[in-house]
Every structure is written in C-alpha cells, then in structure tokens.
Amino acid sequence: MSDNPNPEEVRQLIIDELSQLADLKPEEIKSEATLEDLDIDSLDLVELAQIIEERYDVRLEREDFKDVTTVGAAIEAIISRCTAVAV
C-alpha cells in the first residue's frame, strides 16, 4: 500500500477488476460505458469497494456511489475518495 495512491494506478486497478466482473478485456472497459451496460450490479460494486478498501486502506461509503452510473464516474469517485483520505 502506498501512502498517496497514484490516480492512474487506482484507475487501472478499477478497470482490471471491472473487466473481470463483466467478463471483458480491460481495453473493452470504456469510461462512458454505464455499469448497466457492463451488467455490473450493486453486489459487484460492493466487491470492488472491498478490493479498493483493502488495497488502499480507505473506507468507501455508499454515498460515494449514489450518483454513479458510468465507469468513468465510478473511477473518479474512488480516486477522489482515495486521494482525499491520503492527504
């Protein structure tokens, strides 16, 4: 774990995890894709949140994701939370 997560590292981890959850290649995960398009449900998001929490020692809250509908928005929400906690 690093003290200050690199946004690109966090982004790549999220894309890798989403690609596994959606059974797609990482390069097929586009920022504008909706979570619904990828068939990512709330249980998948909980699993993703647990991975991020363990990796970066950060607590993600439900409110962090309440308006998230796209991959890009999910990535930005998680990066924002990781870097806010690390500061």
Query: The dihedral of CA 39, 41, 44, 49: what is its sign?
Result: positive
In the residue annotation, 41 being an active-site residue is answered as yes
Catalytic pick from 39, 41, 44, 64? 41
Distance CA 42, CA 45 (A): 5
Q: List, by residue number, the catalytic residues.
A: 41
